[in-house]
Amino acid sequence: MTTLIDKTVMITGGTGSFGKAVLHRLLAEDEIARIVVYSRDEKKQHDMRLAFNHPKIQFEIGDVRDERRIMRAMHGVDMVFHAAAMKQVPSCEFFPMEAVQTNIIGTNNVIDAALQHGVERLVVLSTDKAAYPVNAMGCSKMMMEKLMIARAQAQKPLDPTVMCGVRYGNVLYSRGSVVPLFVEQIRRGSPLTVTHPGMTRFLMPLREAIDLVLHALKHGGNGDLFIRKAPASTIGDLAQACLKLFGADNPVGIIGIRAGEKMHETLATAEELARAEDQGDYWRIPCDTGQKFDKYYVEGSPELDSIRPFDSENATRLSITAVEELLRSLPEISAVLG
């Protein structure tokens, strides 16, 4: 099992929600040598530098789109968490080539740099929207996964770098989560805007997303994709849980499903589950190492008729009370509640 003793870890997109949270977790590992926070946002880096004020943290300004910059910044790095991405569905819908530049080409640049420097392990972070994608963000993340898997398959037996990935759904209170919007609407006394009350989404606190990424880092093989068996909730129940949590009676307004949205998200497709390894809280989706074209053309998948995808409609459904308790456990909610 891989350890972090005396290792240098880089977090691309390290000033985002995941980066901040995993930084706290990594700093609790006394044996870690250095953490490189790589991002293009100088203001967020400045704020993090003041907030953490820790000698093991090194800040690097740069964009994953810049191949030469990421190549220089990765010198001396042992492990990489690749979290830099365009994540907002509307932004990617309106500017799809920007999503391509960051989520696909940027990922290829990170992989090139990792291979060039002999990085031990690279974990790429993906989203449920990459499974059966219907929007530009999901398509770009699906291609990111395919790119990682293809590059892993092309590895030679003695190549030092192991590449794997994780896929998870909505992280509560992260950038893009609806929960901060609901909290702000409750505090303003305005209606809670719900797309469709029956729409379902996976719910995961950030701590569980970090557990998933660290599990992949320590146990992943080349081309593996790890998925956590997360519970789900309807958007209507999530809104009601927020209202109960704050003792509020704001009205709920239905605005309708927007372009690029699905009623239910998928974390693991039926095709993936047909070859998945059940690891309890996680599924491991392996890939075949080596570009075996003959095998690709002559060997098919197992029978799929009896296998259902793991989506937010058939996942464990949380009650309003259970969602409320989950929200109450979030440090961001505790700070708001006082």
**What positions carry a catalytic annotation?**
129
The DSSP result for 280-291, as a single string, is SSEEEE---SS-
**If you compute the radius of gyration of the chain from its CA atoms, what whole number of angstroms results?**
20
- Check if the beta carbon of residue 269 is closer than 8 Å to that of residue 309: yes
Q: Which candidate, 103, 177, 189, places its Cα nearest to that of 139?
A: 103
d(CA 38, CA 72) in angstroms, rounded, equals: 11
Residue 135, CB-side half-sphere exposure with 13 Å CA sphere: 23
Tokens of 264: 């239910």
Q: Is the dihedral of CA 319, 323, 324, 329 positive or negative?
A: positive
d(CA 135, CA 262) in angstroms, rounded, equals: 9
Tokens of 164: 């794997």
CA distances from 133 to 39, 103, 148 (A): 27, 14, 17
The DSSP result for 27-42, as a single string, is HT-TT--EEEEEES-H
Residues in Cβ contact with 275 at an 8 Å cutoff, skipping those fewer than 6 apart: 285, 286, 301, 302
Q: Which helix (H) or strand (E) holds 14?
A: none
Tokens of 47: 């704020």
- Check if the beta carbon of residue 128 is closer than 8 Å to that of residue 272: no
d(CA 58, CA 338) in angstroms, rounded, equals: 33
The DSSP result for 218-240, as a single string, is HHPPTT-EEEE---EEEHHHHHH
- Check if the beta carbon of residue 247 is closer than 8 Å to that of residue 284: no
